[in-house]
Amino acid sequence: MKKYFFLFLLFLVTQPVKAEILDFSSYFEVDLDAPLPDLKALQEEYTYATEIYEPRYIISWDMGPTFDRIWRDVITVYGTSEKRLRAAGEEDLTEMIATLPKEFYPYIGPFLHSVPGIPEKILNMPGIKETKNKFPERIAPQLEGIEDLEFLSPYLYILLMPEMWPENQKPVEIKEKRRAQIPQAPYNPEFYANIFKSLPKGGFGGANARGERPVTDKLRTLNVTKTSPLTTADIIAFTNTLDGVLAFATLDNKYKIVQAGALLDYYESKNGTALDMNTLKDVVNPCQRLALKVKWAGLETEFSKPLAKEGFNLKDWAITCDKTIKAYRTILASDAKVASVKMYKRGIHNSFYQTLSPKWKDRQLASIQSFLKMYDTNRNDVIEAMKNETIIREKLKPFGFVMLTSPLTY
């Protein structure tokens, strides 16, 4: 039955999405024909923007005989300044606490007051400020009566919250639907014998009289686009390139692609085309993003050698690869993923998004839309992938969950 979940999933994926605050669809598009920027100048700019201090040494155990005078001046300025450097993630932590239900505050507030370095802005938040050195009043019934419970570490106060114990939560009552009783038809051997007599040798479903596959299955797509249908020949040609791609994935090439990816993320952030979690783009279109990084790394010629043996250029290979993977993902979709797609399409979580700060709201919406885009496929491509599921699985297996640097999320 697993094989037929894709029909239900395809139905859900093609349903219109309810109105949302922001549509991130354009962020996931990859333009492999876009001209490259001046990578040398961009690299210098990126290096300057990301390096706070140049240590001027290469090996940590050979730093020179004298203390660095510039570094001494830097730490002197910051050490005698009353300004506090904002910690990484401070704003995220503030927003996360602000979005929590107020019922949580008595159980996390005392702990926050006991942790060194927590910003005053957090400690003075209404509801958090009042919890300093205060023991929670509501205690889970499972813990009531324990001697010296008030000396429990604030780190564990969260366990005192009654709602943290599953047995204290009210079960969700689901009205059971009565299944229709399907009458059982008696087995009639003569009926099935007559069917097999009328069955052509090649079978139904478009096969010809000689029992061969339809001709379109054997043909390659000449003009590969993001909307052109996959054929079995396309999938076989793509899978034939994966041994060469695996051989290309040396440590040196991976390192160059990682560097190119960091530069690409910086460039997109600079131009306002990056997501807050830019790796979501790699999840949606792993092969097109990989191809883009290969171009930025200057490795297009080397990477394209195994592709050319199957008649692919870099762009056609990347598009065919992404379409194959998305169709393959759909085949493997579990009941839980199908249910998730259904809920997201119905907009069940939209009221929850309204309670989040703009930053977290955008992160959630981008994540949800990337999840839907992971299964952005069509019936033809899924059927072709089903025919070749075994070879797709065997050829992708050596990569694990990552093709060079791109996640192969299923």
Beta carbons within 8 Å of 258's beta carbon, 6+ residues apart: 405
* Residues lower than pLDDT 50 in the chain: 1-20, 206-211
Q: How many CB atoms lie within 10 A of CB 72?
A: 10
Closest listed residue to residue 99, CA positions, set 352, 343, 366, 349: 352
Q: What is the pLDDT of residues 355-397, one digit of tens each?
A: 777 778 888 888 888 988 999 999 999 999 999 999 999 999 9
pLDDT at 328: 94
DSSP letter (8 states) at residue 228: S
pLDDT at 89: 72
Report the DSSP pairing between strands 402-403 and 406-407.
antiparallel
Domain boundaries, the chain: 2-14+24-32+217-407, 90-167
pLDDT at 174: 62
pLDDT at 382: 92
* Whole-model pTM over 0.75: no
Q: φ, ψ for residue 406 (rounded to 5)? A: -100, 130
SS3 110: helix
Q: How many CB atoms lie within 10 A of CB 214?
A: 13
The CA-to-CA distance between both ends of the chain, in Å, stands at 18
